[in-house]
Every structure is written in structure tokens, then in C-alpha cells.
Chains A and B, each alone.
Chain A
Amino acid sequence: MSAAQKPSLRGGGLMRLKGLVRKEFLQIVRDPSSIAIAFVMPIFLLVLFGYGVSLDADHVPVALVAEAPSPDTADFFASLESSHYFAPLHARTLAAAEQALREGRVNAIVHLRANFAEQLRWSDGAPIQVIVNGVDANTARLTQGYIEGAWGNWLARRTASQGQELATPVQLEQRVWFNSELRSRNYLVPGLVAIIMTLIGTLLTALVMAREWERGTLEALLVTPASMTEILLGKIIAYFVLGTGGMLLTVGLAVGLFDVPLRGAFWLLWACASLFLLAALGMGLAISAVARNQFVAGQVAIIGTFLPAFLLSGFIFDIDSMPTVVQGITHVIVARYFVSIVQTLFLAGDVWSVVLPNALALLLMAAIFLGITWRKSRKRLE
């Protein structure tokens, strides 16, 4: 009776396995919600991250206030107006500009005092007052940087036109490797491969398996000649194929539609993605085997895997800047290892010193999670 006693994968085993895989596919195709997660959601996320979401601020609304307009103030403002980083808005008084900042109509104020033109000729220079809205600290920093850039250009132009030389002792030459234009899309879209595969591998798998536990259909399957190993294999194969499809779709769109360079070898990406998928599937099956209830499995899958894949994997937030305890937690997040691999394979190339350790970690985690699933599933039925 028990699963362990059954011969697995001999004789009719392969046929049975084929039947089980077929059953899984029919279940996926016939349920609109799983189609939505497996196909609609990945495309939606890709389009959103490819076109919709960006950390690169453009056309930042800035209020420009000159208390006493003069050729000098106009000259300075021109350096801001000509830049595509700003959407300038002229305000007559500082109070009006501050009101606009409070109402959120502008993100920053550049304020030139009445004696700006005069102070320009003083020895310690004229102060230019800049106020930024600090609530969104990242945008505030970017805006500050853009204003500093415009100021620097203006200084260089002004001193050059007066036949003087601007004293900048140390001149910074910056080289950004791997992503010289600093396009945020180039790192967000590859990271999405990890998110989408977590979606299919963990969330969908956890729910489907938990439903079988909850409804008792797993026991029904077990009284057939199929063994537990075969049932699990059937699930793994079906969702592995689905997840690989999601990966190919993401990589294809990333390279074809969003112009993200793929500098590493495709086979290596495929191999690492397969390892990651195994770990993600193992996680989904382990969650469902422990929870055995759709509500709990769904909650755990979202809270324990999907959100961490977004927030703790290095997909958006830098892991090195997190406190030590949180950094420790990121080590048990499977997506962390894969995000590091995809970012490197896409933008830097085949860097074995990054790929190998991370791939090993993926292999280890896949083994652990599949092992938990196998043990838990057997125990429950004995």
C-alpha cells in the first residue's frame, strides 16, 4: 500500500509518468487563473519593467525663482532649461515656489537672490539656493545631481567665455563598466527572469500541490499504480517545462524587444536557469507538503518567496547596504544567487568566479528543498 514499496519507473512507469505529466498540463490549460499566472503575468511584468517602470528621472519639474531677473540669472537658468532632465517652471516669488513644492507640483526649487549678479563678482562667489523635496530620497538625490551637473556646465562655460580658467584641482573621469549609459532597464529586465520563474516555479506549484493535499486527490492518485515519486516527478516535469517557457520568453523579449545585451553564453544562462527552476520548484512543493492547505501555502509562497525575490535578492536593493542580520537572511533566498548570475551573464559576460559559486548554491538549495518535499510527502501517507 505505501508509496515506498512500489516499484518506481519500471515497466509501465514511463507510461504512467507520461499520463501524469499530461494530467498536469490539462489542469494548467483548463484553469484560467493558472494560465494568467503562467503566461499573462510574465508578459505584463516584462512590459511594465521594460517600458513602464524606471528609476531614471527625466523632466523633473523644477521651480526657478529669480528675485531680480537679469542677464546673469537668465544665463544660469538657460543651463537648466536646455537640459532634458528638467521641466522648468518659472515662479515669481520664493513663497509661490515653496507653495508649489508643498503641493507636489515641483520637486525642487532653484532660487537666485536679488543681488545675484552683484555677488557673482565677489571673491567667495554668489550663493545659489536649492531646495529639494526629500520625501523620495532617491529622486531627490538624482535631482540634486542633475542640478549640480547643470551648475558645473554653466561655471565652465562662464569662466571660459571670460577668458579665465575654472579651478577644478581634481577632475573626475568616470568609467561605468557593463552599462555605460546607466540604463536601469538593463538591470531590471534580466532580474525579472528570476521573478517570473519564482512565480511559476514556486507560487503556482505550491498552490496546485496544496490543492491536491487539501482535496484528498493525492490519496486518490496514490491508490492507482502511480507511486509518490512518480506523482512528484509528474509535477516537477510539467512545471519545469512551463518555467523554462517563461525563461525563454523573458530572455527573448529582453534581448529582442528591450535591447538588453546578452554578453554571456546562452547555454550557461539556460543551465543556471534550470538549476534555479529546480530549487524554486522544490521550494513550492516543500511549502505545499508542509502546509497542506491552499490558504497557508499561498500566504507562505507570497510572503516567503515572492516578496523576498523582489526585495531581498539584490534585484532592486543593494544587498551590501543591508544590516548584517538581513544580509544573513538573504543567503537563504534562492533568488539571490540567480539574480547575481543573470545580472552578470547579461551585462558582464561569462565570469566564472561569479557563476560557479552561485550555481553551486542553487544546486545545494534545490537538493535541500526537493529532499524536504520527498521526506514530508512520504511521511504523511504512512
Chain B
Amino acid sequence: MLIRLLALIHKEFLALLKDPRSRMVLIVPPMIQLLVFGYAATFDLKDISYALYNEDRGTASRELVAAFDGAPAFHRVATLHAEGEIAPLVDKRAVLVVLRIGPRFSADLQSRGSAPVQVIVDGRNSNTAMIALNYVRAIVDGFNRAWITAHGLPAPPARLETRAWFNPNLESRWFFIPGIIGMLTLVTTMLVTALTVAREREQGTFDQLLVTPLRPGEILLGKALPGFLIGMVQGTAILLIATLWFKVPLLGSLSALYAGLALFLLSGVGAGLLISSLAVTQQQGLLGAFLFMVPAVILSGFATPIANMPAFVQTITLIDPLRYFLVILRKVFLEGAGFDVLMGQFWPMAVIGGVSLILASWLFRHRLY
């Protein structure tokens, strides 16, 4: 029996790796993607282009402008001399932020103790706009604090002392890279498994497989293992890139991470095989995998937190295996979690994997098209 099974697994690997193009597609793109997406997926603004329209000639406005010019995230691309120059620049996206200082700024600041400064932000991408506003506010707050101390004004009765746990500099890359590991592993596993049965169905070799002495359970195992092993190898490779290249801290238990990866691959392989056994053609298999993957990524909390979704959508996310794996990845990487904290994430993936595998093997026998 073991020999039969090994032969089947051997055949599955051959089918996958024999063609140089499909071999390439399995190995190279995920690495490139991790590198490219790892750099692309961040909400931190590194280069806010801004324009300055300063009608004031006093020293105070010069100090404020110096604070902006000295901030590494800000980059002045234009200095304006008329109000009419603002709109065209913002419209064509040449600048994200316009800082406008009125003619009486320094005088008002000296005589009345306070003066307004206008900041205009391009809101076409509201998230970027909000982050840019936060950066502007931080610079102005710093200026205000310095001004208050320098001029002996009364300090506010209370001040905030903020600290961030697990990610002290609030680098959003640390949040996204573990997520990309989960996403890429899912994509490869699904693509490998979703086509296995469908390909044989389309070519008519599945009937031949069914009349061999192999039992459905054995066929299932033979079909599941290649996807599982490829997922493991790929997962390990991108894990290494994440820690060695991107230097995302890996604080928690590696064994808990691998246990999570194994269960996640189980559920991914299960979903892939289920789709594959439902599909009659390869095309249906591929599109089916796609129809599963896209919602799975969007609903997993990869880019937008699950907590921000409405209640009924949050309920749907419960059947998304990626949701659990992302929690495991982020908690193990950044919070240093071990098995004890993660139990609640392990068992749902095991259930999803088990149910879909059982259904898939049932369909092997019962779906004859």
C-alpha cells in the first residue's frame, strides 16, 4: 500500500515539476513578489511632497517652515507666490500637502500669542491624506511646545505620553510582511491543488485512477501531499526572506509558527482539493481557486482590520482559514506568542481542513460528470 501511495505521489510531483515553465512559476514569482510587495505594502509615508505659500516675512514663520523642511518625510517641491497657484498643483497631484501661512502670522503670534496656519491636503486617497495630516500635526505640536517653553507661556495641565507595544516605531511593514507570507503560501497551495483533480478529469485519466487498487483515501493523500510539501518549502523560504532580508523580528515560538503553517496548509489543500473535485475542467478549477482566494485575502484582515467590518461580514470571516493564520503569524512574529495564546486559532483551521478533505474524497467517488 505504501509503495502504491509513493508511486502516486511521485507521479503527482512529476506532473507538477516536469514542465520547466510551471516549475519556474512555482519557485521564482513568490520570492520576487515577497520582495516587491514587501517594499510596496506600507502605510508609512516616506516622501510627502508639499508646496509652501508663505505670505509672512517674520522669523516665526521661518522657524515653522524650517521644521517642515527638516522633517525627513516632507519634501518641498514648490514655493508659491500667489493663491491661484495652489489649485493647479494639487489638481495634478504634484503635491499632496500645501502649507499656507498668512501675512500676519509672525505678528499675531507675537502680539496675541496665537495664529492660524492653513494646511490643504489632497483627499483623493483618504488614508494617505489622513496619515499626512497626522504628520503635519506632529510637526506643529513640536513647534508649539518649543514656542511655549521659549516664551514662558503656561503649559497645558496634562500631556500625553504615548508608547506603542510590540512595534515601537509603528512600522507598518512589520504588520504587512507576515501577512504577505500567509497570502503567498495560500496562492501557491491553492493553485497547485485546485488543478490536480481537474486536470485528470479534463484529460480523462481520473477514471483510470479510480479503477486502480488505490482507495479514495489514498488518492486524496497522494493528491494532497505535493501541495502540502511545496507549501512547506515555499513558506520556509519566504519566512527566511522576511526575517533575514526585511529584518522583521521573530520573537515567538518557531514550533508554534510551523504548527500553524501545517494546519493552514491542511485547510488550504482541503479547500483546493474540494474545488478541484467540483471542477470539470482546469479552467473551472483555476477560476474556482481564484473565487476562493480573493475573498479569503480581503476578509482575512490582511490590509483592513476585521474589527472595522460590519458584524455580518465579521461572521463570514470565521470560515476563512487565512484569518487565523494571519493572527498566528503576527502574534508569533511581533508579540512573541507561543502555543498557549494561539490555541483558539489552531482548531478552526483543523476543522476547516478536515471537513473540506472529507467532502473532497467523497466527491471523488460520487461526482461523475
Q: Which A residues have a C-beta under 8 Å from some C-beta of B?
A: 31-34, 36-37, 40-41, 44-45, 48-49, 51-58, 60, 76, 101-103, 116, 119-121, 123-142, 144-145, 147-148, 151, 155, 158-159, 164-180, 182-184, 186-187, 203-204, 207-208, 211, 291, 293-296, 298-300, 302-304, 307, 311-312, 314, 316-318, 320-323, 325-326, 329-330, 340, 343-344, 347-348, 351, 353-354
Can you give 28 contacting A-B residue pairs, CB < 8 Å? A31-B281, A33-B284, A52-B298, A54-B309, A55-B126, A55-B308, A102-B341, A121-B157, A128-B161, A131-B164, A132-B164, A133-B164, A133-B165, A134-B164, A144-B162, A155-B156, A155-B157, A169-B114, A170-B144, A172-B117, A176-B129, A177-B90, A179-B124, A182-B129, A296-B19, A303-B33, A314-B125, A320-B46
- Contact across chains for B126 and A179 when beta carbons are under 8 A apart: yes
- Contact across chains for B43 and A138 when beta carbons are under 8 A apart: yes
Q: Which B residues have a C-beta under 8 Å from some C-beta of A?
A: 19, 21-22, 25, 29, 33, 36-37, 39-49, 64, 88, 90-93, 96, 109, 113-131, 133-134, 136-137, 140, 143-144, 147-148, 153-168, 170-172, 174-175, 187, 191, 195, 199, 279, 281-284, 286-288, 290-291, 294-295, 298-299, 303-305, 307-310, 313, 330-331, 334-335, 341
- Contact across chains for A131 and B143 when beta carbons are under 8 A apart: no
- Most chain B beta-carbon neighbours within 10 Å: one of A187, A307, A318: A318
- Most chain B beta-carbon neighbours within 10 Å: one of A140, A147, A329: A140
- Contact across chains for B167 and A148 when beta carbons are under 8 A apart: no
Select from chain B the residue with minimum beta-carbon distance to A171.
Answer: B116
What's the Cα separation between A140 and B305 when bound, in Å? 11
Select from chain B the residue with minimum beta-carbon distance to A149.
Answer: B137
- Contact across chains for B122 and A177 when beta carbons are under 8 A apart: yes
- Contact across chains for A299 and B191 when beta carbons are under 8 A apart: yes
Contacts of B335 in A (CB 8 A): 102, 135
- Once A135-B175, A169-B148 are accepted as A-B contacts, the answer to whether A175 and B120 lie under 8 Å apart by CB is yes
Contact of A295 among B22, B64, B96 (CB under 8 A): B22
What's the Cα separation between A124 and B152 when bound, in Å? 11
- Contact across chains for B165 and A54 when beta carbons are under 8 A apart: no
Contacts of B126 in A (CB 8 A): 55, 176, 179, 182-184, 186-187
Contacts of B163 in A (CB 8 A): 129-132
Contacts of B294 in A (CB 8 A): 41, 45
- Contact across chains for A171 and B29 when beta carbons are under 8 A apart: no
Further pairs besides A120-B158, A298-B191: 20, Cβ < 8 Å: A36-B287, A53-B304, A53-B308, A102-B335, A134-B164, A134-B168, A151-B158, A169-B143, A170-B114, A177-B122, A184-B126, A184-B127, A295-B195, A296-B22, A303-B29, A303-B33, A311-B41, A317-B43, A321-B42, A325-B39
